[in-house]
Amino acid sequence: MPAVTLEQLRIFLAVAEREHVTRAAEALNLTQSAVSAAIKALEERHGVALLHRVGRRVELTEAGRLFQPEAAAVLARAQAAEQVLADLAGLRRGVLALGASQTVASYWLPPRLVRFQALYPGIRPSLMEGNTAAIVRALLDGTVDLGLVEGEVDEPSLAGEIVADDRLIIVVAPSHPWVGPHVAGLPLDLAGSGWVLREPGSGTRSAFAQALPALGHRLEDLDIVLEFPSNEAVCSAVAAGAGAAALSVHVVAPLVAAGRLCAVGPALPARHFTLLWHRERHRTRAAQAFIDLLRQ
């Protein structure tokens, strides 16, 4: 037995409102026979009479009166659902789930999210913050639509592109032996200091490890005295005299300007902020709009 269709509900409601088949047909731009056939199909499907035929007019039966508000509610919900799809297509509402590694989330991303909200006030961004490894996991399991991480990611299921450049800076406390006129211009013995690093899985740590061989060292050569899961904790430990650290210029620039940390050589290679998405998952209009904004 065929299911009740939205078109049948629409026709029934038009007839019930006008109490006239011909006028309903004219309002719907249908033939009178098509309107009559739709009402007959509803009645025969359930074995009930919805209308009394009284001369050229029609009146609702008791079943018709009970059915009318239910039919109107179903049609209203269908129209609301259609409007939601239209809103989503037009970026008037929706959700954008982002994941960003800590440096990106805290220092680079906020002004871009502000600009996105100004352009699309009906889109609600949500932000998951974690290290690069955590953001990759979130993209793979579908927790986030887009990810922004530091450096390169080797994961075949993910596609990405570079959206910004960054540079790591080696910093120490003003009291550190590497600071002062007696060491100005001299090469630093990186293995001669304790180091405070971000945790394994961090893009900052990975970028530093990749830069070390060009300086004649490996991460294993360094005396790692402390590891922290946040840039702020690393900076605090370094400022307290725990050793040296390599952090994004976005993170350390205000602290260097305030005299709490000192930037020392050597210069480290540039790294990138990378936008990632899953190759096989559908990309929403909101996600595409955010990608377009970052590309500008």
What pLDDT sits at residue 1? 56
Beta bridge partners of 149: 274
Tens-digit pLDDT profile for residues 121-148: 988 899 999 888 899 999 998 889 999 9
Identify residue 43 by its one-letter amino acid code.
E
pLDDT bin (cut points 50, 70, 90) of residue 172 is: very high
Average pLDDT of 191-200? 94
Q: Is the pLDDT of residue 119 over 70?
A: yes
What pLDDT sits at residue 178? 93
Distance between CA atoms of 140 and 118, rounded to whole angstroms? Answer: 29
CA 274 centroid distance within chain: 14
- Out of 60-69, 85-94, 125-134, 199-208, which region has the weakest mean confidence (pLDDT)? 85-94
Separation of first and last alpha carbons in the chain: 55
Domain 97-159+273-295: give its CATH code: 3.40.190.10
User: Structurally, what CATH architecture does the domain formed by 6-89 represent?
Assistant: Orthogonal Bundle (1.10)
Tens-digit pLDDT profile for residues 151-168: 778 899 999 999 999 999
Residues recorded for the chain: 296
What pLDDT sits at residue 76? 84
What pLDDT sits at residue 185? 63
Q: How far is CA 94 from CA 80, 97, 129, 203, 294, in A?
A: 15, 10, 20, 30, 19
Locus of tokens 């530093």: 208
pLDDT bin (cut points 50, 70, 90) of residue 283 is: confident
Name the pTM for this structure.
0.70
Distance between CA atoms of 96 and 89, rounded to whole angstroms? Answer: 14
With a pLDDT cut of 90, the percent of the chain lying above it is 60
What pLDDT sits at residue 127? 93
Average pLDDT of 177-186? 78
Mean residue pLDDT across the chain: 90
Q: Given this chain, do its domains 97-159+273-295 and 164-271 carry the same CATH topology? A: yes
CATH fold of 164-271 reads D-Maltodextrin-Binding Protein; domain 2 (3.40.190)
Distance between CA atoms of 261 and 244, rounded to whole angstroms? Answer: 10
Tens-digit pLDDT profile for residues 204-252: 999 999 999 998 999 999 999 999 999 999 999 999 999 999 999 999 9
Tens-digit pLDDT profile for residues 15-39: 998 899 989 888 888 999 999 999 9
Helix axes 285-295, 110-119, angle to 10 degrees: 120
With a pLDDT cut of 70, the percent of the chain lying above it is 98
Query: CB within 8 A of 174, min separation 6: which ones?
Result: 259, 260, 261, 262
Where exactly are the structural domains of the chain? 6-89, 97-159+273-295, 164-271
